[in-house]
Amino acid sequence: MSEFKADRRSNGTFKAIPLEPGQKYNFLTVLCRLRKQGHNWVWSCLCDCGAKTEVLGSNIRSGNTKSCGCHKGQAISKAMTIHGKSGTRCHWLWQNMMRRCYDAKNPAYGNYGGRGITVCARWHEFETFYADMGERPAGHSLDRIENQFGYSLENCRWATRTDQARNTRANVMITRDGQTKTLAEWAELTGIPYSRLHARRRLGWGDEELFRGKRLPQRINGGQNGAADRQALYARALKVLA
């Protein structure tokens, strides 16, 4: 709360203090600027529950939008009462991961389940999720390494907010033939899919190497499910969430 009160003018309006990646407003951490809407910018934000969400800068600063939507209603209190680990932040993150992938009423569903992002079957139980990922290190949240793939051991890590901000499209800079551009720009220029360039980069390929045709090892696709798998996953998840 204090962050935005400090930005308030005496007449009650807000000073146009520029938002910056890493800043925290209520439950939202600012990741990167996405696009202009009217005379305002839309920002990508990371909610404390682990969901990424898009918010107008003015709404972040004013506190009109405090979270991805998860802090409205009873989402938290319900999540806190279910398990032996209930009340722990790790369980809360797991619950939210399941909800945004499988609960159409979840505010973040449109960006996750609605876009085909799933949780691997093994992680439908909190116990196995916890066994795979371990306790969340302080200041870290659950991050999918490849944005278009789902939640699975291969595709997830505990990351700090700075890691996540760095990992967003706008901030990955690659130099090729003496020119420095974002990875997304290079993808557009070369016609090589962004996901492939990004996966290669993660594997430690050099800047020039990124653009050559070598194939990626298969395992990078972990977490992506076929249509039949997906249906089975949904059926399972709805039981878990019931």
CB of 27 to Zn ion, least distance (A): 6
State the residue for tokens 């807000």.
14
Residue 32 or 68 with smaller CB distance to Zn ion: 68
Contact 29, 10 (CB under 8 A): no
Query: 211: number of CA atoms within 13 Å, CB side?
Result: 15
3-class DSSP state of 87: coil
Q: Which residues bind Zn ion (CB under 5 A)?
A: 47, 49, 51, 67-68, 70
CB of 71 to Zn ion, least distance (A): 7
**Residue 236 to residue 201: CA distance in whole angstroms:** 34
Residue 51 or 183 with smaller CB distance to Zn ion: 51
CB of 48 to Zn ion, least distance (A): 6
Residue 51 or 133 with smaller CB distance to Zn ion: 51
Which sign, positive or negative, has the C-alpha torsion 190, 194, 195, 197?
positive
Among candidate residues 190, 191, 211, the one with its CA nearest the CA of residue 200: 211
Residue 75 or 156 with smaller CB distance to Zn ion: 75
Residue 56 or 216 with smaller CB distance to Zn ion: 56
Contact 216, 203 (CB under 8 A): yes
**Residue 203 to residue 197: CA distance in whole angstroms:** 10
- H helix or E strand, kind and range, residue 144: strand 140-144
CB of 145 to Zn ion, least distance (A): 20
3-class DSSP state of 13: coil
CB of 24 to Zn ion, least distance (A): 13
CB of 47 to Zn ion, least distance (A): 3
Residue 47 or 159 with smaller CB distance to Zn ion: 47
